[in-house]
Structure 1
Amino acid sequence: MAFSSGFFNSKGLDRTYTAENFCDYLGSIICNGIQDNYGDCFKLAAASSGLKVTVGRGKAWINGHYFINDARYSIDLSSYQDESLPRYVGICIYLDTTEAVRSVTLKLFPGTPAESPQLPSIPQDADHVRLLMYAVRLNPGAESLTERDWYDYREDRNVCGYCRCILGKCKVTDMLAQLAQITAEMQEYNDTVAELTARVAELEAEIEDIGDIIAAGQCGENAYYALYSSGKVLVKGTGAMYDYDLESNRSPFYRNDAVRSVVVSEGITTVGEDAFERCLNLESVSLPTSLTSIGSGAFMPADEYPSAAGKLNSITIPDAVTTIGGGAFWGAALTSLTVPHNVATVGKYACRDCTRLTSVRYEGSVIGGFMFVNCTALTSFTMAHTVTTIGEHCFNYCSTLETITYEGSLADWAAITKQSNWDGKGGMEVGQSGLTRIQCLDGFMEWDAENHEWKVGEE
């Protein structure tokens, strides 16, 4: 039949529809995944003892079919434990549309025991579709499980993901056009907010501390500073700050423990080299939207091999910044960092020894050499597809960073220039580099410890 239509009220059984008709319809407006506003989204928890886990309440959709778990469900994995080798067991929501089954269930898929076990192979075809939620590692001799023993794939849209495509009544093309417009408006809004935030910080510095200046001077051809008794430094003017060094031309703030905050006003384009180096008590920095460069050692709090980290725990790098100098934040107490998309030049050791840094989003085109060396708390690293070069020894001694999330395809990842020992895997003791997975949009790369190389992973 060339044409079909629906749905209509039946008169004398002249209109009939099957469950497949409704599933096809629902599948066209709701993408496969977990519905994130029901229950606790199948959250996995370990029992207090033994190899049991419980799956929380949740609802999911697969090709227009729904699956609901309305109470906590216990799973005993002890029967899958091998006596001598580890293995993975996949926990899936599994659709089977064959005539003999016709259901969606929670199903386990055991992998093959091996010294370096792989994720189990889960069949998919026209009649079978899976949402892989978890892969639980069962080690020989283990008597209990914790969250460290499984991978959570619920956020991974390549194998599971959340429902994101309920479109309503608008055309997809109209929706995309509106989204592009909203994105442009939000960027303009964010730029305005950033500029106003910088101006507010400047005004606060002037109002709070006016009349209590304890030091003042010139810090650029057209840039000037004032240090207030509260510890605030206000830099005003236009253009670049001076570049300083640690020998004959030291910054007026060098080793100044009185400096607690810095406000750089709109119009300043660079923070000079070593400008605020070894200001151990510096806690906060406000930078203007006019800034394009942060000099080497600009906010490095201590000596080259610092015995104590500084107190600078957060910083917003303006979007216009194109250059970050070497050691700019070496040893700072940053906990998170976003590197904006215009950054194209980064010196060595920019964030070395930031031992409190846990999460990074990187949108610049170049990641500097040795940039995150010894960032031992780093667990989350998201890399935009705009990255073209990863510098040498970039992730040395990042012992807790296991996965990089890359917002591009496997082909895009392969095209990135990766300099010598970028991943910290070469010439190091076992365990000092935790990186084992690069998650891309259409698959992942995994570290082959036996052959010491990265290879395309298999689900």
Structure 2
Amino acid sequence: MAVGICCNTSENVRNVAFEILAGTPATNPSVPKLLNTDYKKYLTLCIIRLDAGTSELKITDYRENGNFCGYVRCILGKCKVTDMLAQLSEIQEQMKNYNTTVNQLTTKINELTLKIDEMTGDVVSIGKCGQNVDFVLYSDGRLLLKGTEATFDYSTDSNPSPLQNNANIKSVIVSEGVTGIGERLFQYCDNLKTVSLPTTLTAIKKAAFLPHIDGYIYHQTLNGLTELKIPERVTELGVNAFAGTAIKSVTVPSSVVTVGAMAFSECQYLETVRYGGKVISDRMFVRCTKLKNLTLARNVKEIVGGCFNYCESLTTITYEGSLADWNAVKKNTNWDSHAVDIESPLKKIQCFDGYMEYVANTKTWKEVKA
């Protein structure tokens, strides 16, 4: 016999139901076929056979057979879902390319605007911050980095950045061609609020945008960046790269594979994060007290300990994979912050097929299927 799903579109029925089509007993029986009509469309799920002299049923699963069923298929034949998904994937890739082009054009517009200022405006200072990278600072607080390859790495005292601790810098435009923002390049630039980064950028190094600190605790009235968009080609975020800044939201792209400790620590205005990188690093979001909307992509493979310590508003993490995917993610000791002195509010990991629930009395996570 054949077992299938039938969609009946006739006016007096209009329903979806299982149907069974019996076969004809024979020495060599033929497979019964559920045939489509004008009003009835079928997906054959399986064929069941009982051989003579036996009591064991033989079941042939047709769910993966595209000719009879298939997991993704329109039962009416009026739309080809698989084709539509393929087209959607193409459109998404096109949109990604369009966004890259838009970002490149936006950077070009910003560069051209500054070049006009360079000819007609007031240039405060010029200098070199890379083998092939120069900077120009204008009187209105805009700074242009132009050139190719990465900027130099700097230290706090012995080799400080020429831009370090510059209160006149309010915004930064990094031109296409620059591939890396070096260590401590904009350290202590507390009035730097916005940065435009190029699509060619692949690395943002240690303390690149770190504002002033007071001992080991950043100022409650936060300094530095208020807006941040990380380009899609960035693979590295350094230690304290954006720590203590005033950003409210950020998206970490899937291209990121190397992340230093405390990259976004002490960002006490940060509320929304979508994280697509492979690793969430040591104390990455420690003391992000307003963080409440955290989405982790299925691309995340490891969560290091202490990354959510003292995140007082984080009760739920949304994970874009299944429960099985989540269980496969490597989680280091105290990844969920339940081992620290204060009580962690994190109680739920929402997956697409259910969720993980924290059980306080056993200090374990329990799987709950949807």
Aligned to 1:382: 295
Opposite residue 299 of structure 1, the aligned amino acid is F
3-state SS, counterpart of residue 217 of structure 1: strand
Corresponding position: 1:450 with 2:361:
yes
Alignment of 1:104-115 (within 5 A): none
| 1:428 alignment partner, one of 323, 341, 345 | 341
2:186 aligned counterpart, secondary structure: coil
Query: Which 4+ runs in 1 deviate beyond 6 A?
Result: 1-5
Number of the residue aligned with 1:298:
208
Q: Is the 8 A contact 1:209 1:230 kept in 2?
A: no
Backbone CA RMSD of aligned residues: 2.3
- Higher-Rg member (1/2): 2
Contact 2:8 2:16 in 1 (8 A): no
Where does residue 22 of structure 1 map in the other structure? 14
- 1:5 deviation in Å? 8.1
> 8 Å contact 2:135–2:146 — kept in the other structure?
yes
Q: Secondary structure at the match of 2:83?
A: helix
In the TM superposition, residue 362 of structure 1 has moved relative to its aligned partner by 0.5
TM-score by length of 2: 0.78
Q: State the TM-score, normalized to the length of structure 1.
A: 0.64
Distance 1:243 1:318 in 2: 20
The answer (yes or no) to whether the contact 2:316–2:347 under 8 Å persists in 1 is yes
Output the CA distance in 1 between the equivalents of 2:340 and 2:249: 28
Which residue of structure 2 lines up, in the alignment, with residue 213 of structure 1?
123
Q: Does 1:264 align with 2:174?
A: yes
Preserved contact between residue 324 and residue 346 of structure 1 (Cα < 8 Å): yes
Post-superposition shift, 1:455? 1.8
2:329 corresponds to 1:337: no
Q: 1:376 to 1:220 in 2, by over 3 A?
A: same
Matched AA of 1:386: N
Q: 1:168 to 1:368 in 2, by over 3 A?
A: farther
- The percentage of aligned residue pairs carrying the same residue is 47
Question: Is 1:287 aligned to residue 279 of structure 2?
Answer: no
Secondary structure of the corresponding residue to residue 338 of structure 1: strand
Amino acid at match of 2:14: F
Work out whether residues 336 and 360 of structure 1, in 8 Å CA contact, stay in contact via their aligned partners in 2: yes
- Cα distance, 1:6 vs. partner? 5.2
What does 1:324-363 align with in structure 2 at a 5 Å threshold?
A: 324-363=237-276
- Structure 2, unmatched stretches of 5+, are 18-73
Aligned equivalents of 1:273, 1:8: Cα separation in 2 = 70
Contact between 1:330 and 1:354, CA under 8 Å: does it hold in 2?
yes
> Which one-letter code corresponds to 2:168 in the other structure?
A
- Deviation at 1:420? 2.1
Contact kept, 8 Å, 2:7 with 2:14, in 1: the verdict is no
Which of 131, 144, 161 is the matching residue for 1:234?
144
Q: Unaligned 5+ residue runs, structure 1?
A: 10-16, 26-164
Displacement, 1:230? Answer: 0.8
- Tell whether the 8 Å contact from 2:310 to 2:342 is kept in structure 1 after alignment: no
CA distance in 2, matches of 1:317, 1:196: 16
Q: What letter is aligned with 2:364?
A: E
Q: Which residue matches 2:92?
A: 183
Aligned to 1:222: 132
Counterparts of 1:174 and 1:341 in 2: how far apart (Å)?
A: 26
Q: 1:452 offset after TM fit, Å?
A: 1.1
Provide, for residues 328-355 of structure 1, a one-character-per-residue CA deviation record: whole Å limited to 9, x for no partner: 1111111100000110011111111111
User: Post-superposition shift, 1:274?
Assistant: 0.5
